[in-house]
């Protein structure tokens, strides 16, 4: 395969620098750069670690490495015996390369030459329980300690990563932007559909009229489509139209989600209970209604309108069994006139040349979260999802459905304007002193007795004043029976000796948190 000039430039930069960020649009050939860089390292007798967000979601990437190298896969689906055997192969120098999710970073190679972190912005690289670490940051440190190179790649780098590599602390860092796809294939045009207008026209479906037309045209031409909807279940919550009562999990302060098997489930603790037959548990009147829409409801509507096509749903409910991800993706790849509907797990890493249409059903689902990263996460998700279209010989197109069509994150994603989005977002972060212009630490206090959690949170807020923000109840106030209060510290060194080793209140300290719910 002949490399493009941009790919050659990226390889040249990797040879010159120890740490490199490849910021390339979807389809710009980043995987081939990884492969060539790994070949050079292996030819010198060294080994390579390749990190992917979730190995079950990127079988194509794994296969491409397996075609050129002796590899092992390291991930949570392995049995203890398989994991031991694979680690033994590494120790015995029987393999050149290990591919895996977060924990593969600790593969015991004796002569490590390169660490590749694909989709470095993905939140799954951050471990949210002890020991807490971010695999991308840990990869840079391991590379530094053993003299290896670290190569980060993505179409949508985390803002902190982008700022670090564009404003490097020393000359070991290199950054390159690849604005074009391989063979100059065009990026797909993106059309924004205002769902407020759809409602005014009497369309109450989760599918806009425009998306329905484009789906029909795509399927009639023998093409494939991918639809992103970042919500599981049939409806997002169940509420009484008479008194306003919402069914909540008694152990977690979140609404139960209705599933088409007739059960309401908590997506935090897994609790499931039978739905009352339209009768409100609080007021007793028969006015319970299912509000919102999830992937199950979208699947039902697709079956209604496009029952002549193969509809495949990919979310955490349909992929519980081992091998389910690959089975669904294989069927989608091998079936003509197929629609793959899924949550964010379908938005990244997949390279299906026959996909000519991508529909994003709830583009603003993340925008309303009380999180300073909500615009960034929205831009990343839309950009990644849109990038699945038009990767083959046939041109693609993208339909984005939203109730906030004017939002700058949605507009930037529609224009494929990553530099413009990052410049605006960095300006806002600088004004508000948010990362990357400060460093945050979240401390969560959880207890079965809410008064105890609040009291301890107030104590540490006073101890770390004036740097402490809070205390406030966590956005999700209760999980698995524990009430949760938190404080947030900016640019503050934590003395872990200040916190009791044993306490009736659970204390969670998260430096550089990605999830503050």
pLDDT digits (tens, 9 = 90+) for 94-109: 999 999 999 999 999 9
Cα distance between residue 108 and residue 98, in whole Å: 10
CATH label of the domain that carries residue 445:
3.30.70
Q: For residue 168, is it within any domain?
A: yes
Whether residues 226 and 239 share a domain: the answer is no
What's the pLDDT score for residue 390? 87
Looking at the structure, do residues 381 and 396 belong to the same domain, yes or no?
yes
Do 317 and 449 lie in one domain? The reply is no
The full 3-state SS of 460-507, as one line of letters, equals HHHHCCCCEEEEEEEEEEEECCEEEEEEEEECCCCCHHHCCCCCCCEE
Q: Say whether pLDDT at 232 is over 70.
A: no
Look at 138-147, 231-240, 337-346, 399-408 and tell me which has the smallest mean pLDDT.
231-240
For 348-373, write each residue's pLDDT tens digit.
777 788 899 999 998 887 776 668 89
288 pLDDT more than 90: no
Q: Is residue 62 part of a domain?
A: yes
The rounded distance, in Å, linking the Cα atoms of 71 and 109 is 12
Look at residue 268 in the predicted model and tell me its pLDDT.
67
Asked, for residue 516, whether it belongs to a domain, the answer is no
Per-residue model confidence (pLDDT) at position 343: 86
In the prediction, which pLDDT does 287 show?
77
Q: Which of 429, 459, 485 is the last residue of a domain?
A: 429
pLDDT of residue 295: 81
Could you tell me if residue 198 is inside a domain? yes
Each residue of 26-50: pLDDT tens digit?
A: 999 999 999 999 999 999 999 999 9
pTM, to two decimals: 0.88
User: Rounded mean pLDDT of the chain?
Assistant: 90
Tell me which of 213 and 324 has the higher pLDDT: 213
Among 268, 292, 316, where does a domain finish?
292
Is the same domain home to 332 and 369?
A: yes
Clarify whether residues 319 and 241 are in a common domain. Answer: no
Assess whether 367 and 248 both reside in one domain: no
Contact 197, 191 (CB under 8 A): no
- The parent domain of residue 493 ranges over 440-511
Is residue 517 in some structural domain? no
Query: Which CATH number is 416's domain given?
Result: 3.40.50.300
Contact 410, 190 (CB under 8 A): no
Residue 233 scores a pLDDT above 50: no
Say whether both 338 and 414 belong to one domain: yes
* pLDDT beyond 90 at 183: no
Residues 81 and 162 in one domain: yes
Say if 297 falls within a structural domain.
no
Domain finish residue from 361, 395, 429: 429
Which of 290, 293, 305 has its CA nearest to residue 232? 293
Candidate from 47-61, 283-297, 484-498 with smallest mean pLDDT = 283-297
Domain-embedded: residue 300: no
Same-domain status, 267 and 361:
no
Q: Give the β-pairing of 237-240 and 224-228.
A: unpaired
Please enumerate in sequence order all residues whose Cβ is within 8 A of that of 321, keeping only pairs 6 or more positions apart, or say none.
none
In this structure, is residue 435 part of a structural domain? no
Report helix, strand or coil for 225: strand
Residue 400 has pLDDT above 80, yes or no: yes
Task: Look at 285 and 42; give whichever has higher pLDDT.
Answer: 42
Mean pLDDT of 185-198: 93
For residue 512, give the 3-state DSSP assignment. coil
- DSSP for 339-402, please give it: EEEESGGGSSS---TTEEEEEES-TTTTTTSS-TTHHHHHHHHHHHHHTTSS-SSS--EEEEEE
Same domain, 92 and 78: yes
Please report which confidence band the pLDDT of residue 292 belongs to, taking 50, 70 and 90 as the band edges. low
Provide, rounded to the nearest whole percent, the portion of the chain with pLDDT above 70: 95
Percentage of the chain beyond pLDDT 90 is 62
Do residues 240 and 313 share a domain?
no
Strand ranges across the sheet with 440-447? 468-479, 482-490, 440-447, 506-511
- Distance in angstroms between the alpha carbons of the first and the last residue of the chain: 46
Are 209 and 83 within one domain? Answer: no
The total of structural domains in the chain comes to 4
């Amino acid at each position: 395969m002949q490399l493009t000039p941009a790919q050659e430039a990226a390889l040249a930069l990797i040879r010159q620098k120890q740490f490199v960020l490849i910021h390339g649009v979807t389809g710009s050939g980043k995987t081939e750069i990884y492969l060539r860089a790994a070949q050079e390292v292996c030819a010198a007798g060294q080994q390579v670690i390749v990190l992917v967000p979730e190995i079950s979601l990127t079988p194509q990437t794994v296969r491409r490495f397996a075609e050129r190298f002796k590899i092992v896969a390291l991930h949570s689906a392995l049995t203890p015996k398989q994991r031991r055997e694979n680690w033994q192969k590494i120790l015995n120098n029987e393999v050149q390369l290990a591919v895996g999710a977060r924990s593969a970073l600790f593969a015991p190679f004796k002569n490590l030459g390169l660490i590749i972190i694909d989709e470095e912005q993905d939140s799954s690289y951050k471990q949210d329980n002890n020991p807490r670490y971010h695999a991308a940051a840990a990869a840079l440190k391991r590379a530094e300690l053993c003299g290896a190179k670290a190569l980060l790649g993505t179409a949508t780098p985390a803002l902190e990563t982008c700022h670090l590599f564009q404003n490097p602390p020393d000359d070991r860092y290199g950054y390159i932007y690849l604005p074009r796809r391989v063979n100059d294939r065009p990026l797909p045009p993106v059309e924004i559909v205002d769902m407020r207008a759809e409602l005014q026209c009497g369309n109450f479906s989760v599918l806009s009229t425009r998306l329905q037309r484009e789906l029909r045209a795509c399927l009639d031409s023998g093409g494939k489509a991918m639809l992103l909807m970042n919500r599981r279940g049939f409806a997002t919550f169940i509420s009484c139209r008479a008194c306003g009562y919402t069914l909540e999990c008694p152990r977690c302060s979140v609404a139960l989600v209705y599933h088409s098997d007739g059960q309401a489930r908590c997506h935090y603790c897994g609790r499931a209970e039978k739905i009352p037959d339209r009768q409100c548990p609080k007021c007793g009147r028969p006015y319970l209604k299912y509000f919102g829409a999830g992937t199950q409801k979208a699947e039902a509507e697709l079956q209604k309108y496009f029952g002549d096509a193969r509809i495949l749903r990919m979310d955490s409910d349909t992929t519980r069994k081992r091998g389910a991800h690959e089975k669904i993706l294989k069927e989608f790849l091998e079936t003509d006139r197929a629609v793959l509907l899924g949550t964010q797990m379908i938005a990244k890493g997949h390279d299906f040349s026959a996909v000519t249409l991508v529909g994003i059903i709830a583009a603003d689902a993340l925008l309303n979260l009380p999180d300073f990263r909500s615009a960034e996460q929205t831009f990343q998700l839309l950009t990644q999802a849109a990038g699945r279209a038009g990767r083959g010989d046939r041109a693609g197109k993208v339909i984005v459905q939203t109730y906030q069509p004017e939002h700058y994150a949605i507009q930037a994603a529609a224009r494929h304007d990553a530099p413009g989005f990052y410049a605006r977002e960095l300006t806002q972060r600088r004004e508000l002193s948010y990362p990357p212009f400060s460093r945050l630490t979240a401390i969560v206090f959880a207890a079965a007795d809410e008064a105890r959690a609040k009291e301890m949170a107030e104590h540490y807020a006073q101890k770390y004043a004036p740097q402490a923000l809070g205390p406030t109840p966590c956005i999700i106030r209760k999980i698995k029976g524990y009430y949760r209060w938190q404080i947030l510290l900016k640019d503050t060194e934590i003395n872990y000796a200040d916190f009791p080793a044993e306490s009736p209140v659970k204390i969670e300290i998260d430096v550089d948190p990605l999830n503050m719910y």
